[in-house]
Amino acid sequence: MNVHLIAITGGSGSGKTWLVNKLKRRLGREAGRLSLDDFYRDLSDLPPARRARVNFDDPGAIDWDLFLACLKQIRRGETTRLPRYDFTTHTRHPRPRVWRPKPVVLIDGLWLLHRPELRRIYWLTVYLDCPEQLRLTRRLARDVAERGRSRASGWRQWRSQVKPMHDRWVAPQGQWAQLRLTPESFNDSLASLGKIVKELATARPVGAGRDSRA
């Protein structure tokens, strides 16, 4: 199968999930979704109090070897076993998710362009450039609704970890993205991006990823 990996990255609350879901609905069965969040390191060997102190906004919290290995399998069109992460316990589910080949793979995550070896494997790279206040509002709402946190703890985490790590690790990735979108351009860009992605589902093989910049 001709598999195209599309990386959609940006800060926490920048709209990565929204964009991936929009594109996924346009493609239906032709596309699959992969989240970098599922590749956080399993902390089951640590007591709960220590797990809560881990900085999950630092790229060192990700199992990069496993992520790269899974990407390579997926790009070869192979059935792959993917981890699933539980943010309430900071551990992996005992049963991995079985991934079956799809022509287009939409990948979202904070640091998808962080490493040169990753940038070389994608077919298309997108960076979402979103204002800080909007990202903060979305992040707090998500953490309360989906990850069992209070607004107070979410705000403390933003101030001590999320913002400094964004400035250090996330924001610089914009220089390596082939497309850089702002909230004002999201809707206008969605139609053209959706058309590009739709064409990929039936495209002829293109070989290795297009972006080989290091």
For the stretch 78-104, pLDDT in tens is: 999 999 999 888 999 999 999 998 999
* Largest separation between any pair of C-alpha atoms in the chain: 51
Over residues 19-35, mean pLDDT: 90
Residue 209: pLDDT band (50, 70, 90) is very low
- pTM for the model stands at 0.85
Distance, CA of 29 to CA of 124 (rounded, Å): 20
Please give the average per-residue pLDDT across 39-63, as a whole number. 92
pLDDT bin (cut points 50, 70, 90) of residue 212 is very low
Written out in words, the top-level CATH class of the domain with range 4-199 is alpha beta
Both tokens assigned to 55: 């900085």
Helix (H) or strand (E) holding 82: strand 80-82
Q: Where do the domains of the chain lie?
A: 4-199
Please report which confidence band the pLDDT of residue 214 belongs to, taking 50, 70 and 90 as the band edges: very low
At CA 112, angle to CA 107 and CA 114, rounded to 5? 175
- Return all residues near 15 (Cβ < 8 A) that are at least 6 apart: 128, 130, 138, 183, 186
**pLDDT (0 to 100) of residue 82:** 96
Angle value at C-alpha 54, between 53 and 60, nearest 5 degrees: 165
Would you place residue 107 in the very low, low, confident or very high pLDDT band (cuts 50, 70, 90)?
very high
